[in-house]
Amino acid sequence: MNDTAPVRSGGFDWGRLFGRPGQSLTRRLIWLASTWILLALVIAALALTHAFQESALRRLGNMLNETIDEIVVAASRTPPGERVEQIQDARTLRLLSGKYWQILEVQPDGRLTPLARSTSLWNYDLNLPADLPQRLERVLGDVITFNTDGPKDEPKKPEPLRVAASMKTIPRHDRPIIFLAALDRSEVDADTRQFATLTWIALLVMGAGLVSAVFIQVRFGLRPLFDLRNEIAAVRKGRAARIVHDYPLEIQPLAEQVNRLLDHNQEVVDRQRTHVGNLAHALKTPISVMLAEAGTQEGALPELVRRQTKVMQGQVDHHLRRARAAARAAHGLGEKTPVPEVLDELAVMIEQVFRAKDVEIDWRAPDELAFLGERQDLQEILGNLIENAAKFSRRRVRVSAGASGLGQMVVVVEDDGPGLPADQRDEVIKRGSRLDESAPGSGLGLSIVDDLTRAYGGRLTLSDSDMGGLKAVLELPAAET
């Protein structure tokens, strides 16, 4: 009898695209491209904002230069000691309007003496750097610009000003004169902030679009690699024997090399089987001759020869079987053996063998359960276990098999016999060990099971069964459905 079990479905793990870049080629490409894109957009945003601000300040500086030219002309026409006439600019005539000018005379001791100021400045002086005269002397006649705070009119904060300054010598004045023109830069700062905000928003949207495009490009550009990985996994798990799809020119050589490796492995396995078969024939013939010759004679020596020859025959069979299993397990690609079919065949056969004891073998396994290996090996593993359980059982043997996840399957064989003490379980697995000499056999059954199981990377453990006898638990590789 058998039971059915649900089949787990798999799919692409999208979460694997995120994490440390070094763990995945996809992540590495996405992170690298995204980093460069975001870095380039940040630099572009800073550069555009700076260029916009400089352009605005340059326009502001041109307006200030025109104002300086006007006050220079007005001061040149004004005799020394007389008040400089106000220039014809409505903003400089309105109190604290945001546009100001001032004329200063540089004294021999370096002090600055106000000569005139705009009506808009009232009785305030512009805030100037302490080293302004020295800076202007180095560029005598040229204009320099700097930022400062305007007149403070409580409770308002002082307005930010952009100031242009120039030191000139004019007729009828024996000392250098400093001409200052200032303009409120609040609008320029506000426009710069607005431009920066819009630029950052636009570039962030563009960055998100570019990163998404990179993600899509990498994901679909590397699709052949993902497909090749899936095909190799299918071969490894027994769902396919070769790589059959065509791939781009850059990947196709890799797929061909994998197929050549599979062919080479198959050739190695076939060669090993041939060698093992030749060795079996070479050894079995002399052993058979020795048995035949010893069987025709009576006495202690012929009996000793017969007994030791049978032991030799059992050891040869054991090691040849182990060599074949190791070769097949090393290959282990594309082989897939249905477990229910093997259990059904073994149950029918072993029940017939032990028909005198009326042994009943109850087995259960999901229909889709499959062993990742050759049918002959599974038959030998399960056959030895079930036969051993039937041999020592009173009447009932129970076998249950199922998938355990992570590409593994578990087979449990139990009987209702006398069981086995814990301190003797390791001993019975040793080659040729027999704790019950009255039972038929060579004592190689569990040893063969353990050797074959280990050859496939599995494990055999013995424990007590709730039926009263021995419980054998097999862990073997399972083929995915």
Shared domain for 424 and 464, answered yes or no, is yes
Question: Above 90 in pLDDT, residue 83?
Answer: no
d(CA 55, CA 57): 5
**456 closest CA partner among 442, 474, 434:** 474
User: What would the pLDDT profile of 242-295 be if each residue is shown by its tens digit?
Assistant: 888 888 888 888 888 888 888 887 777 777 767 776 776 677 777 777 777 776
pLDDT at 90: 84
Shared domain for 60 and 188, answered yes or no, is yes
For residue 241, tell me if it sits in a domain.
no
Question: Above 70 in pLDDT, residue 13?
Answer: no
Shared domain for 265 and 397, answered yes or no, is no
In this structure, the number of other CB atoms found within 10 A of the CB of residue 13 comes to 7
Which of 264, 297, 331 is the C-terminal boundary of a domain? 331
**Which range is least confidently modeled, 15-29, 81-95, 345-359, 416-430?**
15-29
pLDDT at 347: 92
pLDDT at 88: 78
**Antiparallel, parallel or unpaired: β 360-364 and 396-405:** parallel
Which three-class secondary structure state does DSSP give residue 263?
Answer: helix
User: What would the pLDDT profile of 197-210 be if each residue is shown by its tens digit?
Assistant: 999 999 999 999 99
**Antiparallel, parallel or unpaired: β 470-477 and 408-415:** antiparallel
- In the predicted model, what is the mean pLDDT of the chain? 81
Question: Above 90 in pLDDT, residue 231?
Answer: no
**Antiparallel, parallel or unpaired: β 177-184 and 99-106:** antiparallel
pLDDT at 329: 56
Shared domain for 278 and 393, answered yes or no, is no
Shared domain for 196 and 91, answered yes or no, is yes
Classify residue 140 as exposed, middle or buried by CB count within 10 Å of its CB (0-12, 13-18, 19+): exposed
pLDDT at 15: 47
Domain span at 324: 253-331
d(CA 20, CA 30): 11
User: What value does the mean pLDDT take over residues 46-54?
Assistant: 94
pLDDT at 324: 61
**Antiparallel, parallel or unpaired: β 337-338 and 112-117:** unpaired
User: What would the pLDDT profile of 116-131 be if each residue is shown by its tens digit?
Assistant: 888 888 888 888 988 8
Provide the token pair at 274.
């041939």
pTM above 0.85, yes or no: no
Residue 354 CB contacts under 8 Å (≥ 6 apart), including other chains: 390, 391
pLDDT at 346: 93
Shared domain for 467 and 381, answered yes or no, is yes
Contact in structure between 387 and 350 (CB atoms under 8 Å): yes
Q: Which residue has the higher pLDDT, 434 or 25?
A: 25
For residue 227, tell me if it sits in a domain.
no
Q: Number of structural domains, the chain?
A: 3
372 φ, ψ to 5°?
Answer: -85, 80
Question: Above 70 in pLDDT, residue 48?
Answer: yes
Which of 170, 199, 221 is the C-terminal boundary of a domain? 221
> Which amino acid does the sequence have at 45?
A
Cα dihedral across residues 119, 125, 129, 132: positive or negative: positive
371 φ, ψ to 5°?
Answer: -90, 135
Which residue reads 């459905």 in tokens? Answer: 481
Contact in structure between 308 and 366 (CB atoms under 8 Å): no
Provide the token pair at 366.
């999901």
DSSP 407: T
Shared domain for 40 and 178, answered yes or no, is yes
